[in-house]
Amino acid sequence: MLKRLLAGCLSVFFVAAAAAQEYPTRTINIVVPFAPGGPTDTVTRLVGQAMGKSLGQTMIVENVAGAGGTIGVEKVARAKPDGYTLLLMHIGISTAPSLYRSLPFDPVKDLEPVGLVTNVPMTVIGNKDFAPKDMKELIAYVKANKDKVTYANAGVGAASHLCGMLFMTAIQTDLTTVPYKGTGPAMTDLIGGQVDFMCDQTTNTTPQIKGGKVKGMAVTTKTHVKSLNELPTVEESGLKGFEVAVWHGMWAPAGTPKPVIDKLSAALKTALKDPAVVSKFAELGTEPVAESRATPEAARAHLKAEIEKWAPIIKKAGVYAD
């Protein structure tokens, strides 16, 4: 009896090991927890296409939007750990544990990191008819008109939510927020004039700023962004110490075999050196992380540090969701 059980266990083990060796033998899904056409979608499509080349399989983006990205993350946390369902998520994976009173997953325990991907600056942008013409005017204007100004974001847990929360804390003014399933659709409404302003990643805002469809007001990094060099920083515009950038990482469900994770991490490293990825990233105001950061170890350590970094800041802001 015991012998048969042992033999059974061993054969399951060998089948799993062989599958990991052969991986990947079919299309891989990458879940983007926001709507199509937004910044996370853009980064994922670029990286996924390049990774697919070295893995010899197609990587398909699946947009699972809602609740500031937490619905998509939960889907991957509960997916089969076979390497065919992955997640591309950003800083929001580290703020959600503090923002949500009952989060249905633990990003550290329920996910297996593949590696970090990129760090994207944000920009404060307004619709073309929005009264303030620059960041300094915007600060004064929203303080004076707080009951009528609207701020678009992609829900509690999104980077646009985090940036807005930091901004409102910095100017000690609460504004009306309008949540979307991603800043792709939020951008459409901003261009259409249905909302006044938002803070979103350069990977989404650069073409719209350069094309004159929205008013670029400031960047949220400490230094200027090369591709949008005319924009001042938020700090230069008067909010001392204001800084936020949006790191991204790739994850698989916890329990994904190590050989699979290693193959994915190697493909991620190759993708981040792909000239098409590097030049498109530069055009959109960002760059790939250093090779040593596109690893499970770096992503694991970064996630833990970021959860610790944001917890007291969110607690102080007093923002919670159920």
Q: How far apart are CA 288 and CA 116, in angstroms?
A: 9
Query: Does 159 sit near ligand ASP (CB under 6 A)?
Result: yes
39: contact with ligand ASP by CB under 6 A: yes
Helix axes 202-210, 183-192, angle to 10 degrees: 20
- Within 81-100, the residues that bind ligand ASP by CB under 6 A are 90, 92
Q: What is the 3-state secondary structure (H, E, C) of 268-286?
A: HHHHCCCHHHHHHHHHCCC
Closest to ligand ASP by CB, 182 vs 285, is: 182
Interhelix angle 70-77/92-99, nearest 10 degrees: 100
Contact 252, 264 (CB under 8 A): yes
- For residues 59 and 154, which CB has a smaller minimum distance to ligand ASP in the complex? 154
Q: What is the dihedral of CA 87, 93, 94, 95, to 10 degrees?
A: 170
Instruction: State which residue has the least CB distance to ligand ASP.
Output: 38
- Residues in Cβ contact with 6 at an 8 Å cutoff, skipping those fewer than 6 apart: none
What residues between 184 and 203 interact with ligand ASP by CB under 6 A? 184, 200
Name which position in 182, 216, 249, 253 contacts ligand ASP (CB under 6 A): 182
Say what the alpha-carbon torsion angle 254, 260, 261, 262 is, to the nearest 10 degrees. 160
144, amino acid identity: A
Strands 150-153 and 197-201: what pairing?
parallel
Q: Is 105 in the site for ligand ASP (CB under 6 A)?
A: no
Q: Does 154 bind ligand ASP (CB under 6 A)?
A: yes
Give the integer Cα–Cα distance in Å for 251 and 125. Answer: 30
- Quote the least distance from Cβ 208 to ligand ASP, whole Å: 14
Which residue in 70, 98, 183, 233 binds ligand ASP (CB under 6 A)? 183
Compute how many residues bind ligand ASP; rule: CB under 6 A: 16
Nearer to ligand ASP, 41 or 235 (CB): 41
Residue placing its CB nearer to ligand ASP in the complex, 186 or 231: 186
Nearest distance from residue 157's CB to ligand ASP, in Å?
A: 8
158: contact with ligand ASP by CB under 6 A? yes
- Answer yes or no: are the C-beta atoms of 154 and 69 closer than 8 Å: yes
Give the amino acid at 97: P
Pick the binder of ligand ASP from 24, 30, 31, 40 (CB under 6 A): 40
Q: Is 288 helix (H, G, I), strand (E, B) or coil?
A: strand
- DSSP 8-state code for residue 87: E
41 binds ligand ASP (CB under 6 A): yes
24 preceded by cis ω (within 30°)?
Answer: yes
CA distance 51 to 156: 30
Q: Does 160 bind ligand ASP (CB under 6 A)?
A: yes
Q: 3-state class of 122 per DSSP? A: strand
24 is an interface residue for ligand ASP by CB under 6 A: no
Asked if 38 interacts with ligand ASP (CB under 6 A), we say yes
Query: Which range of residues in 106-114, 177-185, 257-265, 283-291 is near ligand ASP by CB under 6 A?
Result: 177-185
- Contact code string over 263-302 relative to ligand ASP, x by CB under 6 A: ----------------------------------------
- Give the nearer residue to ligand ASP in terms of CB position, either 24 or 39: 39
Tokens of 268: 């991620």
Our finding on whether 48 is near ligand ASP (CB under 6 A) is: no
By CB under 6 A, name the binding residues for ligand ASP: 34-35, 38-41, 90, 92, 154, 158-160, 182-184, 200
